[in-house]
Amino acid sequence: MNTKPDTAQNIRLAAILAGITALLMVPLVAMQFTTEVNWTWFDFVVAGILLYGTGLLCELVLRKVRDTGRRFLVIGIVVVVLFLVWAELAVGIFGTPLAGS
């Protein structure tokens, strides 16, 4: 039995984490050049939790679910939930207290 994690899985995980970090750098860099982007530290924390959580959940699905069709289904559900939560936090499409409205 091989107890070492697969190198390809570790590379994929590192790529996911690096991609998310790069994505979070976009508003940080934009804030240096324009006043139109005005994120607080709380915005970065919430975005980080959502994005890193989604990325790690997708990695977990890729490691645990063997059937390709089920992988696509579960990852699709995770991504749709991310977009719905993000939209609710951004503009309050459902009118829940999460939107702050």
What local confidence, expressed as pLDDT, does residue 5 receive? 63
What local confidence, expressed as pLDDT, does residue 99 receive? 72
Please name which of 78, 25, 16 lies closest in space to residue 47, comparing C-alpha atoms: 25
96/17 Cα distance (integer angstroms): 30
Contact between 101 and 92 (Cβ < 8 Å): yes
Flag whether 15 is in a domain. yes
The number of folded domains in the chain is: 1
Amino acid residing at 61: V
The pLDDT tens digits of the residues spanning 25-66 come to 999 999 999 999 999 999 999 999 999 999 999 999 999 999
Residues of the domain holding 51: 7-99
CB atoms within 10 A of CB 54: 20
What local confidence, expressed as pLDDT, does residue 91 receive? 85
Flag whether 2 is in a domain. no
Flag whether 1 is in a domain. no
What local confidence, expressed as pLDDT, does residue 92 receive? 83
What local confidence, expressed as pLDDT, does residue 95 receive? 80
What local confidence, expressed as pLDDT, does residue 3 receive? 54
Flag whether 86 is in a domain. yes
